[in-house]
Amino acid sequence: MSDGPGAAGGGARRCAVLGDPIAHSLSPVLHRAGYAELGLDWTYDAHRVPAGDLAAFVDALGRDWRGLSLTMPLKREALGLADRLTDRARAAGAVNTLVLEDGERVGDNTDLPGAAAAIRERTTLPLRSAAILGGGATATSIGLALLDLGVTSVDLLVRDPARAAETADLLRARPAGVEVRIGTLDDTRDVLADIVVSTIPAVAQTDELVVRCGAVPVVFEALYDPWPTPLAASAAGRTLVGGLDLLVHQAAMQFDLFTGLPAPLEAMRAAGRQALVGRSTA
């Protein structure tokens, strides 16, 4: 997308993560660790931007800004602010990355390839069926990643089935023949799948829900704070893909897009782990 930092302006550049809430975000830790590892004089901060305020924030940015990472509740709002969307952002119906290049806003989605990389880093098991807890933008991106990995059957388990309709439609539109069903989180039946993915808050992971997921061999917990969540804590003896795995891989891809340089993945991962340890002992 660029020829590197020199082509992007040659001096210090600014990036940030936006969302609401945002104080918990590890993105500044990861990106700053990458800058330090490569000797880049760049900054990366966190800004609280509530739903509806994204356009005003982006419109006010100066030419020294290079990229934005977007988290809840802004991923779908950002679709309308991009001058150009990548195929994966369009497929996901969500933008978690805005690259600011020569006056153009390019909307991308690194959650999708980041999720695939995180899963395959932890397991090579064949995956054909998936249960996803939650039906928002993150559920869509991880669901699409699972389809790319061979999943052909997806159960979306949500509080309000009507709110999962957009995610279900986006998943059904990706490959021919995928089966997507919408159910409720308070169903009493056991969850039967090759992988269960949680995109819901830790407080929504009731004891009953965790028990219902107990036979699924691969657990993907998209959260990293608080850690472990009830679902992650129950995964002993099973394959666990954690929120930090997802965050590191998608952040590394953002780093590549923003700087034009290969991200120092392990340095970023180490910084994230250290930060989480610090929070757990604080």
Judged against a pLDDT cut of 50, whether residue 218 lies above it is answered with yes
Half-sphere CA count of 267, side-chain side, radius 13 A: 13
Residues comprising the chain, all counted: 282
Identify which of 203, 208, 202, 153 has the alpha carbon closest to the alpha carbon of residue 184. Answer: 208
Arithmetic mean of pLDDT over the chain: 94
pLDDT, residue 6, reads 38
Choice between 32 and 8, residue whose per-residue pLDDT is larger: 32
Distance CA 31, CA 169 (A): 33
13, 32, 75, 88: which is the annotated catalytic residue? 75
Contact status, residue 89 vs residue 79, Cβ threshold 8 Å: yes
Judged against a pLDDT cut of 50, whether residue 158 lies above it is answered with yes
Instruction: Report residue 22's pLDDT band, with 50, 70 and 90 as the boundaries.
Output: very high
Half-sphere CA count of 150, side-chain side, radius 13 A: 9
pLDDT, residue 279, reads 86
Write out the CATH class of domain 113-242. alpha beta
How many CB atoms lie under 10 A from the CB of residue 20? 16
Stretch 158-169: mean pLDDT, rounded? Answer: 94
The domain ranges of the chain are 14-109+245-281, 113-242
Distance CA 260, CA 255 (A): 8
Distance CA 271, CA 223 (A): 17
Distance CA 12, CA 57 (A): 20
Judged against a pLDDT cut of 90, whether residue 8 lies above it is answered with no
**CATH topology agreement for domains 14-109+245-281 and 113-242:** yes
Percent share of the chain, pLDDT over 90: 91
The residues near 4 (Cβ < 8 Å, ≥ 6 apart) are 259, 260, 261
pLDDT, residue 175, reads 73
Instruction: Report residue 282's pLDDT band, with 50, 70 and 90 as the boundaries.
Output: low
Is 262 in the active site?
no
Judged against a pLDDT cut of 70, whether residue 5 lies above it is answered with no
> Domain spanning 14-109+245-281: which superfamily?
Leucine Dehydrogenase, chain A, domain 1 (3.40.50.10860)
Distance CA 151, CA 25 (A): 30
